[in-house]
């Protein structure tokens, strides 16, 4: 493992994988922020400190909270595959420049996707960032499989 950590491609993968994973984890606190500011909770115990009638007012969904939750889910749909494919790709011995290009474009695309989703930027900004990120994952998968394909 220590030897692997000396490999530049693996170091680059670790860096960008950590950045996108932290970005994804941040969606949790952002959801909490929207829940608190929009007064939108789903669990009885979360509003236990409110009185009877007031409880009902807080136990409701809010479009802003649902938007952040969808953004978080979209991260899971895309960042988890990036992690697995990216790890195998990094281990398959790609050129550093090519690997860096893949990791940087994916990271930039996913950060932009979150801003586009939460700030409600006009389409096709979110759609394009989603496709760009997915394209990177497919490109890494193609590069990986063209080296190791074995049925």
What stretch of H or E contains 147? helix 125-148
Supply the minimum distance, in Å, between the C-beta of residue 113 and ligand GSH.
6
Supply the minimum distance, in Å, between the C-beta of residue 90 and ligand GSH.
24
Supply the minimum distance, in Å, between the C-beta of residue 128 and ligand GSH.
8
Q: In whole angstroms, give the CA distance from residue 106 to residue 102.
A: 6
Q: Work out which of 27, 79, 126, 137 binds ligand GSH, going by CB under 6 A.
A: 126
Q: In whole angstroms, give the CA distance from residue 39 to residue 16.
A: 35
| Region of 30-38, 51-59, 124-132, 142-150 interacting with ligand GSH (CB under 6 A) | 124-132
**Could you say whether residue 8 binds ligand GSH (CB under 6 A)?**
no
Supply the minimum distance, in Å, between the C-beta of residue 45 and ligand GSH.
28
Among 28, 29, 39, smallest CA distance to 63 is for 39
Contacts with ligand GSH in 61-80 (CB under 6 A)? 70, 74, 77
Q: In whole angstroms, give the CA distance from residue 129 to residue 70.
A: 15
Count of CA atoms in the C-beta half-sphere (13 A) of 132: 19
Q: Work out which of 56, 127, 138, 147 binds ligand GSH, going by CB under 6 A.
A: 127
Give Cα separations from 123 to 12, 73, 126 (angstroms).
31, 19, 6
CB-nearer residue toward ligand GSH: 14 or 139: 139
Which residues contact ligand GSH by CB under 6 A? Answer: 70, 74, 77, 126-127, 130
């Amino acid at each position: 493992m220590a030897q692997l950590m000396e490999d530049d491609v693996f170091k680059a993968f670790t860096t960008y994988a950590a950045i996108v994973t932290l970005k994804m984890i941040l969606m949790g606190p952002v959801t909490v922020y929207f829940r608190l500011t929009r007064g939108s909770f789903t669990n009885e115990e979360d509003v236990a400190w409110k009185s009877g009638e007031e409880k009902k007012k807080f136990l409701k969904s809010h479009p802003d909270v649902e938007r952040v939750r969808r953004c978080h889910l979209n991260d899971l749909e895309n960042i988890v595959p990036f992690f697995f494919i990216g790890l195998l790709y990094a281990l398959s011995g790609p050129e550093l420049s090519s690997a860096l290009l893949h990791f940087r474009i994916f990271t930039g695309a996913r950060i932009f996707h979150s801003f586009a989703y939460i700030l409600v930027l006009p389409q096709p900004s979110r759609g394009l960032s989603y496709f760009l990120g997915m394209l990177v994952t497919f490109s890494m998968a193609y590069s990986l499989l063209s080296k190791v394909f074995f049925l």
